Amino acid sequence: MFENIFKTWRLFLFRLRINIYPPYAGAGIRVHHIAPDFTTFDISMKLSFYNKNYFGTQFGGSLYSMCDPFFVFILVQNLGRGYIVWDKQSLIQFMKPGRGTVHAHVHIPLEKIRELKQLADEKGKVEPVLPIDLKDDDSNVIAHVEKTLYIRRKNPS
């Protein structure tokens, strides 16, 4: 019972820390949900004075920022301290202007995490490409992001 309370409290504090982190708070980026198994983040960003570009739509840097660290967070939490996880490369394709609230559902299934761990153990390192779609309130894709990560075991045997 106490383990469940501790886990819930830990997730709450982690989400709070992200939400008050000045670059995210300033841009209006909010994490609404973190899955208990730490495989999913639900994030949104409302259009505001602080993230509006010259044309009155979502600033591209803010759109990218709202999905920047979350795959790394998922993998670090699920792989454990024996692995190094870094962002290596990112690609963002803007599909249409963000004129309101934009949402991101960042998820890596547990099976995929196990597969990446096995590949890192076998090959020494792995560089997966993981996608995120940023969507508006009507589920239209505003931007498509592909994150290339670098994963390796700290002390390969």
Distance from the Cα of residue 101 to its chain's centroid: 17
- Which range marks the domain in which residue 128 is found? 2-153
User: What pLDDT is attached to residue 155?
Assistant: 81
Euclidean distance between CA atoms 6 and 124, whole angstroms? 34
- Asked if 133 and 144 count as a contact pair (C-beta separation under 8 A), the reply is yes
pLDDT, tens digit (0-9, with 9 covering 90-100), for 112-139: 999 999 999 999 999 999 999 999 999 9
CATH of residue 97: 3.10.129.10
- pLDDT tens figures, 36-67: 999 999 999 999 999 999 999 999 999 999 99
Q: How many domains does the chain have?
A: 1
Structure confidence by residue, pLDDT tens digits, 90-116: 999 999 999 999 999 999 999 999 999
**pLDDT surpassing 90 at residue 69:** yes
Going by C-alpha positions, the residue among 137, 136, 10, 149 that lies closest to residue 70 is 149
Is this model's pTM higher than 0.85 or not?
yes
